[in-house]
Chains A and B, each alone.
Chain A
Amino acid sequence: MSRIIHRREFLRITAPVIPLGLAACGWDGGKRLQPLFDKVIDANNRAGERLLAIRHAEVNPLQLEHGQMPAYFISEGMPLLKDPAAWRLEVGGLVRKPTQFTPEMLAALPHLNYSITHHCVEGWSVVKRWGGVPFTMIGALVEPKPEAKYVQFDSFDSDYMNGWDIESAMHPQTILADSFEGKPITPAHGAPLRLYSPIKLGYKLTKYLTRVTFTDKKPGGYWEDRGYPWFGGL
């Protein structure tokens, strides 16, 4: 008698588990769940924004490095400028003084250097040295208007771009980087200029910059539009 009960009990357990097994197999949740995921990620974003003002990423004072930083781009080949001397950084949008920065103008501005931990959304980290113009300096020069809540960063790497909240862009550790590991930045890492900040994941750090636009409309982003968290904060 007790054996039969055991078998029935066993079936009663496995039955509900089977749909769970079927539900995995890489299921992304289907169309109905995506808006729910978006809402939750949005709420997580807002919680992150509230914490942002308090924290700086810890700087590595000994300038140690760890790990290997891979090259990253979405074009078929490494994005290379045909005429590097002709490259300019256009900064405009909702600003009082739209400015076209030449490499010489940027080189002359005060630079911030740090050795800091970099995080990729894939789950790995490295510790590397970066140097560049603090974005707050760019902001001081172009004078964004009060309505500007977002910043869009455009790249010459195919259609790669990112949209940021202005607070993170103006974080003291956010820089437009032109040096990596103490040397001028190479095409493998986003030359001639790339965004760097230790408070956001790597996919938010636009490489191969061409244009910066201050805006009041929330921009998307290459990976953000494909389901990755828009805020991407650490």
Chain B
Amino acid sequence: MDAPSPQPPAAVVRHGPLVRITHWLNAVFLAGMIGSGLQIYTAYAHFGYHGETFNVPNPIDGSRMAVPHAIKLGGWLAGGLRWHFTLAWPFVLTGLAYVLFLLFSGEWRALLFRPSDVPGAWQMTRYYLRLRKDHPPQGKHNPLQKSAYTFAIVLAVLSILSGFAIAKPVQLGFLTDLFGGYEWARYWHMVAVWTFTAFIIAHVVMVFVADPGSFRAIITGRYRGKFVERPRA
């Protein structure tokens, strides 16, 4: 006789409304920022001073064709700029609301990657490399997730700061200088966004491969997946 299928665990409240709303709003705003950013980029699809080579890796160096039309938002440079400068403000404000929420609610404790998380992150890596068979026990987020979610916030801040450094190289010249000058700031802006894109792809893949229940949780707020939360010791 087959073993009876296990009862699904009781739903746990995992994500409050502010987390869920800011998550989905910024998912949309970020898509718009990246689409319009690529439109802007293809107006001069190179890095460095005009006419000079800039020896940095750039897989999309080239002409207007360097980026497919399908993923660009705006139609032309002015169109891209208008989208980019309009979406930038809601993107920044939504991100700020999320970060302030994390700080004031204490929720940062479930998310912030700290030095004490390094051994746990290594164990999670060993599990994904199939060097260990059992999934290490975890709380709401395992240390590897914490590293990713903490890094995502750092990347967002770098993307925003480098963006302002490009937009206002005279008024915010001190900021542009921090990035190494205008041409470097423009490159770091691209690097930050590429890295952010890699994070998003990894994030979406992991949701489906590792814990599909987390997808429902970030919409409804209630988690019924396979990682039962253990109270922190």
Contact = CB atoms under 8 A, between A and B. Distances in A.
A28 B74 contact: yes
B114 interface: no
Contacts, number: 139
A28 B77 CA distance: 10
Interface string B60-85: 00000000011111111111011101
A40 B81 contact: no
Contacts of B105: none
Contacts of A48: 168, 171
A26 B81 contact: no
Given A37-B82, A122-B43, A123-B43, A67 B49 contact: yes
A68 B70 CA distance: 32
A68 B51 contact: yes
B171 A234 contact: yes
Interface centre among A34, A36, A123 (most CB of B within 10 A): A123
B163 interface: no
Interface in A4-33: 5-6, 9-10, 12-13, 20-21, 23-29
B70 A122 contact: no
A76 B49 CA distance: 27
Chain B contact residues (Cβ within 8 angstroms of A): what range?
35 or more
Given A20-B31, A57-B170, A69-B50, A10 B73 contact: no
B52 A67 contact: yes
A68 B50 contact: yes
Contacts of A44: 85
B75 A24 contact: no
Contacts of B204: 13
B101 to A, nearest CB: 24
Nearest to A234: B170
A36 B48 CA distance: 33
Given A41-B85, A69-B50, A227 B44 contact: no
A112 B112 CA distance: 53
A19 B166 CA distance: 30
B216 A124 contact: no
Contacts of A67: 48-52
Given A20-B28, A21-B70, A68-B51, A55 B77 contact: no
Contact of B70 (A25, A36, A120, A223): A25
B171 A55 contact: yes
Contacts of A229: 81, 85
B39 interface: yes
Nearest to B167: A234
A1 interface: yes
Nearest to A29: B83
Interface residues of A, number: 54
Given A27-B74, A123-B40, A51 B212 contact: no
A68 B73 CA distance: 29
Among all A-B residue pairs, the 9 with the closest Cβ atoms: A67-B49, A68-B51, A227-B78, A28-B79, A37-B82, A124-B50, A26-B75, A234-B170, A122-B43
Interface of B: 5, 28, 31, 35, 39-41, 43-44, 46, 48-52, 69-79, 81-83, 85-86, 89, 166, 168-171, 173, 182-183, 186, 204, 208, 212, 215-216
28 contacts: A9-B212, A13-B204, A24-B70, A24-B73, A25-B69, A26-B69, A27-B74, A27-B75, A28-B76, A29-B83, A36-B86, A37-B83, A40-B82, A55-B170, A57-B170, A58-B173, A67-B51, A67-B52, A69-B50, A119-B169, A121-B77, A123-B43, A124-B46, A124-B49, A125-B50, A125-B183, A126-B50, A228-B77
Given A68-B50, A119-B182, 13 more contacts: A20-B28, A23-B73, A27-B73, A40-B82, A41-B85, A51-B168, A55-B173, A122-B43, A123-B40, A199-B170, A226-B78, A228-B77, A228-B78
